[in-house]
Copies of this chain bind each other. A is one copy, B any other.
């Protein structure tokens, strides 16, 4: 069995949690991810989407829907991938080994993938300016897990300066769908900018595997070349196109997520947790007994996200319904 040698801890690993906590029974609530618990309903899938190699027309229609929904700058390029993770894997392989800065603390795969491809990676604080020899900077915006949104002007300035050095600013907008007005997609024709957008988190379809890169056409063409034809599955293309174009569903979902995250905040605060930030898809909290709380919740079949690097932190995804919110409330009261 092939096991990666550089595997990170991620949310969503319910299989491992079940093995570690047999006492919790079968009915787990997974709050360890930032995936919307109310998924976009899967439309009917044409036989051809499964049977044929995905064609140009399907790809173009998907990209057109993404352009429109993301408000992409008309001169910018766009690439579709089977999940943003693959873009995070491939981007570092398009550059000769160089100096890379990652604005931390953030999603761990950026550091793993730039390091794996032979780059020298430094973790920077959000307020740290660019070092002189840096060619690549990575920013997650809004940041995972704390929700911080670095100013647009700062990022466009960084992108300009990196472009002059032949480098890029990577802006991971994995959670930007909940605040579309903050996206840099309208600025994606800016030289030196590469924006990553995830489909599965906001639409609640993480198993579908769909993501996009946006930015100046030359880099997008290199990403497309690196993945080759047919990287995205036929069903992912047709479902993605339909879901991205459904603006009413998106608007209602943004409101529902906002409301549910407010209710989650109330429960967490009542249990004595400090809310540090997040987005309406997940909340980041701090507590002196964070690891004990996580263990106590796991023993009751509720999985949350811990951070080995920040032992006082816990991240909570949205409970999918009132009964799950109640189970969380009761489990926190026992903690």
Complex-state Cα separation, A39 to B50, whole angstroms: 9
Contacts of A54 in B (CB 8 A): 207
A233 contacts the other chain (CB 8 A): yes
A68 contacts the other chain (CB 8 A): no
User: Does the CB pair B51–A2 fall under 8 Å?
Assistant: no
Chain B's nearest CB lies how many Å from the CB of A285?
Answer: 22
User: Does the CB pair A51–B89 fall under 8 Å?
Assistant: no
Contacts of A232 in B (CB 8 A): 209
> Which of A11-19, A164-172, A258-266, A276-284 touches B?
A11-19
> Which of A80-88, A97-105, A144-152, A187-195 touches B?
A80-88
Complex-state Cα separation, A32 to B234, whole angstroms: 18
Q: Which A198-241 residues have C-beta < 8 A from chain B? A: 200, 204-209, 217, 220-221, 223-236
Name, among A217, A223, A229, the residue most crowded by chain B CB atoms within 10 Å (CB to CB): A229
Residue of B nearest to A201 (CB): B53
Tell which of B2, B35, B48, B220 touches A52, judged by Cβ atoms closer than 8 Å.
B35
Contacts of A230 in B (CB 8 A): 83, 85, 206, 209
> Which of A55-63, A125-133, A292-300 touches B?
A55-63
Q: Which A1-16 residues have C-beta < 8 A from chain B? A: 1-7, 10, 12-16
Complex-state Cα separation, A51 to B230, whole angstroms: 22
A2-B223, A4-B228, A14-B52 known, 7 other contacts, Cβ within 8 Å:
A10-B229, A39-B47, A39-B51, A209-B231, A233-B233, A233-B236, A235-B235
User: Does the CB pair A86–B2 fall under 8 Å?
Assistant: no
Name, among A7, A35, A53, A56, the residue most crowded by chain B CB atoms within 10 Å (CB to CB): A53
A124 contacts the other chain (CB 8 A): no
User: Does the CB pair A225–B57 fall under 8 Å?
Assistant: no
Tell which of B12, B16, B57, B221 touches A2, judged by Cβ atoms closer than 8 Å.
B221
Complex-state Cα separation, A3 to B233, whole angstroms: 18
Contacts of A116 in B (CB 8 A): 225
Contacts of A223 in B (CB 8 A): 2
Complex-state Cα separation, A93 to B85, whole angstroms: 17
Contacts of A33 in B (CB 8 A): 53
Residue of B nearest to A42 (CB): B50
Chain B's nearest CB lies how many Å from the CB of A67?
Answer: 9
User: Does the CB pair B82–A205 fall under 8 Å?
Assistant: no
A109 contacts the other chain (CB 8 A): yes
Complex-state Cα separation, A42 to B2, whole angstroms: 27
Residue of B nearest to A38 (CB): B51
Contacts of A10 in B (CB 8 A): 53, 229
Tell which of B3, B206, B221 touches A4, judged by Cβ atoms closer than 8 Å.
B221
Residue of B nearest to A5 (CB): B221
Chain B's nearest CB lies how many Å from the CB of A6?
Answer: 6
Complex-state Cα separation, A48 to B223, whole angstroms: 30
Contacts of A204 in B (CB 8 A): 51
What are 14 sample pairs from A and B whose C-beta atoms fall under 8 A apart?
A1-B78, A2-B224, A7-B229, A12-B55, A39-B50, A42-B50, A51-B207, A52-B206, A54-B207, A89-B228, A93-B93, A109-B228, A116-B225, A235-B235
